[in-house]
Structure 1
Amino acid sequence: MDDFFTLTIILSLFTFTMTTTLSPGPNNILVLSSGLTYGYKKTIPHMLGVIIGFPLMVILIGLGAGIVFEKYPFVLDVLKYLGILYLLWMAYKIVSATNNYEINEETSSKPFTFIQSALFQWVNPKAWIMGMTVISIYVNTQEESFYQILIIACMYFFTTLIGMNIWVGGGVFLKRFISNARFVKNLNRGLAFTLILSILPVLFN
């Protein structure tokens, strides 16, 4: 194992990745709403898109994408504002989602596919912040960096797997015990508002 990744560093990395994975953000709010609206099974592709897509994004950032954005910061700004617009659209979709628990084939509202979820990471402002921060903190440039990046990505795979299931499970739990359509509608509005709030720190950064 790389000398940089001592047990202390591994535990620190686990704490960092677990905390950032569990903290409220676009991915977590969206899968919570999906679990509430569509149930666990139909949300699996959405979860897998995050679980696989984000660690892959971390690897690419570590291999040089971060350097590109440091050299051409306007590219990151473009992605940031595209992400904000997309999140606002997703907030609208959450509010307008059907309140009927029995989602049928005719409804215009559909859960994320795997590809949609994986691609969403690239316009997710929180994902960019998390990815660039973890690389800057836990990659020792004086050592072999590729091995370190793989360890970080594997750790995020593990913690994201846990985090996604917790948040989707929360939505499924609410779906099981809530039968009042008006309450669900108001809850979705609350989730949409929370999603918008998650944008503000990035917008004013």
Structure 2
Amino acid sequence: MEYSALILFTIATSITPGPNNLMIMTSGVNYGFRRSLPHLLGIDIGFVLMIIGVGLGMSQLFAQVPQLLIWLKVIGIIYLSYLAYRIATSPTKPLVADVLDEMKHKPLSFLQAALFQWVNPKAWIMIVGAIVTYTNTSMDYSLQVAIIALFFLCLGTPCTFVWLGFGTALKRYLANPLHLKIFNIVMASLLLLSLLPVVLELVEITK
């Protein structure tokens, strides 16, 4: 197992913009650091549990039913597009981020953020990429999956904190309603842009 390469892969995929990072940054802007912590922990712990689940069981299911992964990606694209719309059209007060209850104004909970990983296209790409690329026959497969999960927990979590810190630092500047509106529209646009590689991949598959 190439540990140095896995470290680089983990940091590179965790720090670059994607649905999780853009959403936690937006949460930091709208709700601040402390109130966004459950969202952050849901992202990182939920992602690690997803690595274990996919690595130890669901990868075999996807091998037998490849259409299942395609449909999960389609659902993820639709869901993230909806979230982008919610962000872009949110009022210039705390973002309505609770997708389960339109009447509540609060950030995503730990459970919501953890469950969100299963419809996050980037999460699937990262996990499948890591497992396919960095596991081999030289050591126990389950141990390798556990190592990948540990690397993402130890190295990916600080990356998420960085994005939350960005959002928190911008909070004072974005207290201006116009600035907040522009920020939310930009974040929504970037969220949609982050889906482009997945959309292109699905187009290629369906050709």
Question: Which TM-score applies when normalising by structure 2?
Answer: 0.89
2:166 is matched with which residue? Answer: 170
| Mapped partners of 1:29, 1:197: distance in 2 | 11
| Partner Cα distance (1:47, 1:31) in 2 | 7
Matches within 5 A, 1:56-205: 56-100=49-93, 108-205=104-201
Q: Deviations over 1:159-184 (max 9, x none)?
A: 22111100010000110233321011
Secondary structure at the counterpart of residue 125 of structure 2: helix
Decide which of 20, 26, 31 is 1:33's aligned counterpart: 26
Give the count of matched residue pairs.
196
TM-align CA RMSD: 1.8
Q: Is the 8 A contact 1:37 1:99 kept in 2?
A: no
Q: In structure 1, what residue type is equivalent to 2:174?
A: I
Q: 1:101 deviation in Å? A: 5.7
Identity of aligned residues (%): 41
* 1:84–1:125 CA contact under 8 A, matched in 2: yes
Query: Structure 1: which 4+ aligned runs deviate by more than 3 Å?
Result: 106-109
Is residue 94–residue 192 contact of structure 1 (8 Å, CA) maintained in 2? Answer: yes
CA shift at 1:77, angstroms?
1.2
Distance, in Å, in 2 between the alignment partners of 1:66 and 1:130 is 13
Q: Following TM superposition, by how much is the alpha carbon of 1:102 offset from its aligned partner in structure 2, in angstroms?
A: 10
Match of 1:12 among 5, 26, 33: 5
